[in-house]
Amino acid sequence: MKAVKIISAVLIIILIILQFFPKRLPENLPLGPSDLISGESVPGEVVEILRNSCFDCHSNQVHYPWYSYVVPTAWLVGKDVREGRGELNFSEWGDYSLRNLIGRLDAIKEEVSSGAMPLPAYIFMHPKAKLDEEQVSIIVKWTDDYIEKILE
């Protein structure tokens, strides 16, 4: 019993000390001219779905919940956001080439259709981000329509 108390005290002290280390969360930036929402006419329902289920990892406008500021969780959240932005950043949408856009739209369609996105860990912490069948259909139709528009 004494060992459990000692181990618990040591872990609490370590967690407190860790809070003094940098959080390393990617910076939030204002909407710019390259942002998907600023530069394109995107249907409102698509914007709502993207903001609710995608933007926290795939844009420069991240809503960081309270636990994002607690180390070591902050490091994991920061890593996920950096990786998400690296794969797809809706805030840099206008900077992608047309060929790149088609590839990203295909990837969005595939990831959403297969249920791979949003990530299960994200949905666990943000249950409202889970896409229902109707939302998946809306995103799939939007990607198909967007690709068709590019190819015209």
Count of beta carbons in the 10 Å neighbourhood of residue 152? 5
- Name the one residue in this structure whose structure tokens are 């797809």: 88
pLDDT tens-digit series, residues 34-64 = 889 876 778 999 999 999 999 999 999 999 9
pLDDT tens-digit series, residues 99-109 = 999 999 999 99
- Name the one residue in this structure whose structure tokens are 């710019």: 32
Q: Return the amino acid letter for 152.
A: E
Domain boundaries, the chain: 24-151
Contacts of 151 (CB under 8 A, 6+ apart): 102
pLDDT tens-digit series, residues 124-150 = 999 999 999 999 999 999 999 999 999
> Which pTM was predicted?
0.82
